[in-house]
Amino acid sequence: MGLLLLLASALLTSHFHTGSQVDAQTAFTIRSVRLTIEPGTDVARGTDVTVRCQAAVSSSGQETLTREYTIYKEGIVVYTKTTSSSEDFLYPLSEARASNSGKYKCKVSIQSRSLESNAEKLTVTGLSDPVLHLKKGVVTEGEDVTVRCTAPGETGSFFFYFYDNSKEIYGVQANTNQTETTLHFATGIHRVHCTYTVFILPDSFKSNKSNTVNVSVKELSIMPFLKVSPQSMIYEGDRLNISCSVRGYLPSSESIELHLSRENDLLSTGYSEISHSMLAPANVPELRFECRLTSGNVVKVVTNNVPVTELFSTPTLTVSPAEVFQREKMMLTCKSQRYATERINESELTYTLDPEERARPTMSRGVFLSTAPPEDINYTCTAEAKGIKKQSQALALRPKVSVSTPFISVLGTAILGQTIQIHCDTAKGSLPINYTLIKGYEPVAWKTVHLFSEKAVFSITINKTEDIKQYMCAAANSHRGELLGERLSANVIEPLTWATLSAVPDLDDLSEGQQLHLICKVKGSMPVTFKWYRVGSAIPLNITTVQQKHKDYHVPVLSKEHNGQYYCEATNPAHIMVRSEELSIEVRLALWKKALIGGMILLVVSLLVLAMCVLHYKSKRGRETYSPPATLASYK
């Protein structure tokens, strides 16, 4: 029993002691974290700035809490410190620069808990003035000049700019606050300064100008010399001799290189003197030659513009006639309108045609005869004299196609007495095509078709069906005259003009049980659509379309129910409806019914007569057999 009490006591003691430690370690909360910038968020360059982080933490235990402070700039950690002090955490920025500008934020972490402050933006205005330094202020043409630009006291990412007489001549990026480079200047006096830009993403800040330094560049006594012979009265095809040489003295040991060129064509290269010979080309009114001297960084150029006189003009190629039709004769003429009479005469000019397979030269210079091909073709010609060749512009020959025999047709339906659309067309032929509508042998209308989407359509009116055959078309698109087509063959629809309705058998002979044929007859063109109606009903009794001008409606067995008024209507493709007059149908009794009724009447009459006779007879006999009773007197 004693051992059990001892164990129980030990367990209880251990339980209460452990619980007190847990409460002491976990009872805290971070209520808020606040970041401030002192003396303010907008400060001038060189100001001492303090980033203050205040953390409000509540705890119940006596144990000191360990805090970890983290300072962020633009989301990047710039400083971290762990402390057990509850005082505000201070992050100093001594003599703040533009590179210190940005958004700052503070985070406080205690054990597994953390809390961040709101972000505050610091803006540091003002940059130090750049300083420019040159190793030499006086140099010789082509000599390097070493320059250095410094941004005193600044940090960050830089871009330095160098200026010559206020014009930017060089720029370079650097990760330090200074850069050194080599510049080259032309002869003369140059006023050089520099500036820089500091990049603090997403912003950038530009400095003022640096000090200005003068650079004096002395010219070397060396020059290129360019000579062109002959110097004047140069014609196309003349031979030119061009030389490029050096004049003057080069004091240094640098080598000299010469380049002779015309426009973008390099003609020759060398060292002390170079030359080139050539013929003055055609169609170049002025030749520009350049002699370039290069020695180290020294480049000197001299140019010479040489005018060139035209020997003869570029030829022109023409065709006659202006409108050429396939497989017709044509004449091609190649001609230079101008030539230098002081250098050549007209007989020295020769002309060739390309392609020449289909052309035959004539006795006249530059004139060729040919037959227009069935397909499109491009011709050019070349004029030549004294080794100079000039080619004409291409002559695009598009031989036209003569019209074929035209054909004539009716658009839609031809209806007598109404406007008819007549269409004239051809199977082939180049536009424009002139169409003529002819009646008999007299032209009555004209139309010119300029586009493939156009149609030659003529409006006429036909008053007699046979008039349609008098029309035909003529077509032309060349000087050869018109082609005449065949006469128009088309069906002309004659509109219906009247309708009549008759009956078979005759209306006076209609009786029950007979057949009836209601015949509707019209005048006009077929096919005809017939309709029969009974007055009082809008629904036709029958509808039929036939290739004839009359049709009947058959009633197989007549009855009294067929009594009434009847009429018919008719139409044809002219869509003009005609209506007959109304026809009265009255159906009489059948003969057997008449005989039966007559027989019955005779029977009734006979029976009545017989009855009367019997009655009369009986009445008479009765009077004869009757005698009066005897009286008393008679007995006596």
CATH of the domain at 538: 2.60.40.10
410 in the same domain as 390:
no
Instruction: Catalogue the long-range contacts made by 253-258 (C-beta closer than 8 Å, 24 or more residues apart).
Output: 254/142, 254/295, 254/296, 254/298, 255/295, 256/222, 256/293, 256/294, 256/295, 257/293, 257/294, 257/295, 258/224, 258/291, 258/292, 258/293, 258/294
Sequence-distant (≥ 6) Cβ neighbours of residue 104 within 8 angstroms = 35, 37, 51, 71, 72, 73, 119, 120, 121, 122
Instruction: Report which secondary-structure segment, H or E, holds 269.
Output: strand 265-270
pLDDT of residue 408: 95
CB 250 within 8 A of CB 295: yes
34 shares its domain with 104: yes
Strands 49-59 and 28-38: antiparallel
Q: Please check whether residues 303 and 319 belong to one and the same domain.
A: no
User: CB neighbours of 301 closer than 8 A, spacing ≥ 6?
Assistant: 224, 290, 291, 292, 293
Question: What is the token pair recorded at 93?
Answer: 């920025």
- Report the amino acid identity of residue 115: L
Same domain, 121 and 160: no
pTM for the full predicted model = 0.49
The answer to whether residues 187 and 102 belong to one domain is: no
In the block, residue with structure tokens 């005018």: 307
What distance lies between CA 306 and its chain's CA centroid?
50
User: Would you say 181 and 194 are in contact if contact means Cβ atoms under 8 Å apart?
Assistant: no
Task: Write down which residue in 458, 487, 516 finishes a domain.
Answer: 487
Verify that 120 and 150 share a domain, yes or no: no
User: Which of 218, 233, 249 is the C-terminal boundary of a domain?
Assistant: 218
Q: Is residue 621 part of a domain?
A: no
Q: How many structural domains is the chain composed of?
A: 6
Whether residue 159 lies inside any domain: the answer is: yes
From CA 505, how far away is CA 143, in angstroms rounded? 135
Cβ-Cβ contacts under 8 Å for 539 (sequence gap 6 or more) = none
Distance CA 576, CA 594 (A): 47
Q: How many residues does the chain have?
A: 636
The secondary element (H helix, E strand) that includes residue 2 is helix 2-26
Judge if 100 and 155 occupy the same domain.
no
Residues 53, 90: one domain?
yes
Question: Do 248 and 186 sit in the same domain of this protein?
Answer: no
Residue 217: CB atoms within 10 A of its CB come to 19
Burial code (b: 16+ CB inside 10 Å, e: under 16) for 127-140 equals bbebebeeeeeebe
With respect to residue 615, please indicate whether it lies within any of the assigned structural domains: no
Integer Cα distance of 240 and 289 in angstroms: 11
Q: Quick check: is 135 in a domain?
A: yes
CA-to-CA distance for 136 and 140, rounded, in angstroms?
11
Residues 528, 551: Cα–Cα separation, whole Å: 9
Q: Is residue 626 part of a domain?
A: no
The pLDDT of residue 5 is: 38
Closest to 505 measured CA to CA, from 611, 588, 627? 588
Quick check: helix, strand or coil at residue 610? helix
Task: Clarify whether residues 90 and 103 are in a common domain.
Answer: yes
Cα–Cα distance measured from residue 35 to residue 33, given in angstroms and rounded to the nearest whole number: 7
Backbone φ, ψ for residue 466 (5° rounding): -75, -15
Q: Are residues 258 and 337 in the same domain?
A: no
Question: Which residues have CB under 8 Å from 437's CB, separation 6+?
Answer: 422, 424, 443, 444, 445, 446, 458, 460, 471, 473
Say what the alpha-carbon torsion angle 618, 623, 624, 630 is, to the nearest 10 degrees.
150
Q: Determine the distance from the C-alpha atom of residue 283 to the mean position of all C-alpha atoms in its chain, rounded to a whole number.
A: 41
Are residues 210 and 227 located together in one domain of the fold?
no
Q: Is residue 329 part of a domain?
A: yes
Which residue's entry shows tokens 């030389």?
A: 243
CA gap 41, 38 in Å, rounded: 7
Instruction: Report the distance separating Cα 73 and Cα 104, nearest Å.
Output: 5
Q: Is residue 597 part of a domain?
A: no
Q: Is residue 12 in some structural domain?
A: no
DSSP secondary structure, 119-140, as one string = PEEEEEE--PPPEEEES-SEEE
Q: Which helix (H) or strand (E) holds 395?
A: strand 395-397
Four-residue CA torsion sign, 613, 616, 618, 624: negative
Residue 155: its pLDDT value, please? 84
Last residue of a domain, one of 260, 280, 307: 307
147 and 181 Cβ atoms separated by less than 8 Å:
yes
pLDDT at 533: 96
Return d(Cα 550, Cα 528) in angstroms, integer: 8
Q: What is the DSSP letter of 9?
A: H
* Rg, the chain, Cα only: 63
Backbone phi, psi, residue 33, to 5°: -135, 130
Please report the pLDDT score of residue 335 as a whole number.
95
Mean pLDDT, each 10-residue run in order, the chain (636 residues): 38 36 62 94 92 90 85 93 91 90 93 92 90 91 91 90 94 93 91 92 87 91 92 93 88 81 94 93 94 88 95 95 90 95 92 89 91 92 94 94 94 91 94 94 94 93 91 89 92 93 88 92 94 94 95 92 94 94 86 66 80 77 56 39
d(CA 72, CA 103): 8
| Six token digits for residue 530 | 């017939």
Phi, psi of 448 (to 5 degrees): -110, 125
> In terms of residue numbers, what domain contains 472?
406-487
